[in-house]
């Protein structure tokens, strides 16, 4: 099973601003001068040794994740603006020829998790099948509502692909292609949200964004522990710093500190911090990432191994199992 991230921001898209871009350039150039960079041939090595906040960007698209089974079946989690580049990639395969099946699972239908769907090219190709999944009984109405003529020029049901809606039942596993079993779990979030767990011989991957966890929740909700226990890979909401989470209680998101606490408590092997606050710069997000690792070390645990969610990041569960050292 392989997981690739296409959108990692929360609440709304947050493209890199000119001020932040210039600040990055200035720091990179200062480092180049300090390193004695003297030729174009030295540039790749120089760039490879830059710290994370300079060598890459976190990305500005909202939530979208691709899961690929060991047999090549593709499943999509959420339809934020990250769905647009994912759709562009799919167009080079059977989805561009009207011969593809598309499976999208929704955690919930807040704007930042559905706003990429009207810009997803495969749904406009005749012959493609679009399968949409959620515990919500009215998912079809919600998808159609965002593309009424007041908001978008192409109504959802006028796009050329066929549409199929599937209502998931909590506690009833769904068998997917590629020998994957899917389970759902309700999360604490305004209006509700769902975690998705993909289980196969390769390992267990859980996606749990738009969820608020507190220390009290950690000790009083045994159903959470049963669902998350021992996951090989957990991509989890970590939108805030701990201080900011106190001022935004009941907003439905988790601090990176509490995300680490949860993952340690649940004996998760690999944790990916996602749904980044749109007001945070890359510098701030990478600082949070560093602090999350330090917090786990302060807890005197070697697991989970901690990663920062960024656009185009990929995780291969088989490789992670084979190479797992338990360290960040």
Would you list the domain boundaries of the chain? 2-13+58-323, 18-55
pLDDT at 327: 52
pLDDT tens across 20-49, in order?
999 999 999 999 999 999 999 999 999 999
- Report the run of H or E that residue 70 belongs to, with start and end: none
pLDDT tens across 41-66, in order?
999 999 999 999 999 999 999 999 99
Q: Sheet holding 193-200: strands in order across?
A: 174-176, 180-187, 193-200, 203-208, 233-237, 270-274, 305-308
pLDDT tens across 231-283, in order?
999 999 999 998 888 788 888 899 999 999 999 999 999 999 999 999 999 99
pLDDT tens across 141-195, in order?
999 999 999 999 999 999 999 999 999 998 899 999 889 999 999 999 999 999 9
Mean pLDDT taken over the chain: 94
pTM: 0.94
pLDDT at 239: 95
Nearest to residue 89, comparing CAs of 132, 123, 124, 121? 121
pLDDT tens across 70-117, in order?
999 999 999 999 999 999 999 999 999 999 999 999 999 999 999 999
Mean pLDDT for 122-139 is: 98
Q: Return the higher-pLDDT residue of 178 and 136.
A: 136
Angle between helices 282-298 and 256-265 (to 10 degrees): 40
pLDDT at 99: 97
For residues 5 and 68, give the distance between their C-alpha atoms in angstroms, rounded to a whole number: 12
Pick the CATH number of 2-13+58-323 from 3.30.720.200, 3.40.50.10490, 3.40.47.10, 3.60.15.10: 3.60.15.10
* DSSP-derived secondary structure letter, 54: H
């Amino acid at each position: 099973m392989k997981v690739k991230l296409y959108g990692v921001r929360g609440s709304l898209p947050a493209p890199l601003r000119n001020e932040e871009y210039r600040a990055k350039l200035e720091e990179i150039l200062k480092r180049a001068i300090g390193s004695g960079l003297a030729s174009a041939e030295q540039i790749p090595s120089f760039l490879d040794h830059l710290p994370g906040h300079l060598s890459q960007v976190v990305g500005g698209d909202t939530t979208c994740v691709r899961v690929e089974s060991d047999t090549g079946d593709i499943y999509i989690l959420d339809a934020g603006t990250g769905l647009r580049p994912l759709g562009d990639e799919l167009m080079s395969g059977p989805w561009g020829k009207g011969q593809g099946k598309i499976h999208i699972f929704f955690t919930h239908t807040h704007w930042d998790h559905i706003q990429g769907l009207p810009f997803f090219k495969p749904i406009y190709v005749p012959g493609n099948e679009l399968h949409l999944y959620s515990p919500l009984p009215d998912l079809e109405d919600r998808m159609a509502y965002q593309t009424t003529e007041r908001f978008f020029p192409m109504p959802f049901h006028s796009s050329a692909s066929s549409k199929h809606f599937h209502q998931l039942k909590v506690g009833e596993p769904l068998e997917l292609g590629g020998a994957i079993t899917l389970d759902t779990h309700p999360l604490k979030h305004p209006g509700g949200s769902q975690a998705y767990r993909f289980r196969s011989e390769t390992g267990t991957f859980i996606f749990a964004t738009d969820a608020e966890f507190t220390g009290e929740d950690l000790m009083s909700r045994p159903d959470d522990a049963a669902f998350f226990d021992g996951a090989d890979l957990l991509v989890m909401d970590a939108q805030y710093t701990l201080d900011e989470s106190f001022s935004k209680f009941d907003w439905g998101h988790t601090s990176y500190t509490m995300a680490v606490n949860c993952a340690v408590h649940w004996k998760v092997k690999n944790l990916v911090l996602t749904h980044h606050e749109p007001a945070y710069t890359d510098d701030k997000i990478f600082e949070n990432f560093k602090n999350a690792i330090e917090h786990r070390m302060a807890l005197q645990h070697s697991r989970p191994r901690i990663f920062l969610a960024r656009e185009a990041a990929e995780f291969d569960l088989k490789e992670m199992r084979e190479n797992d050292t338990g360290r960040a």
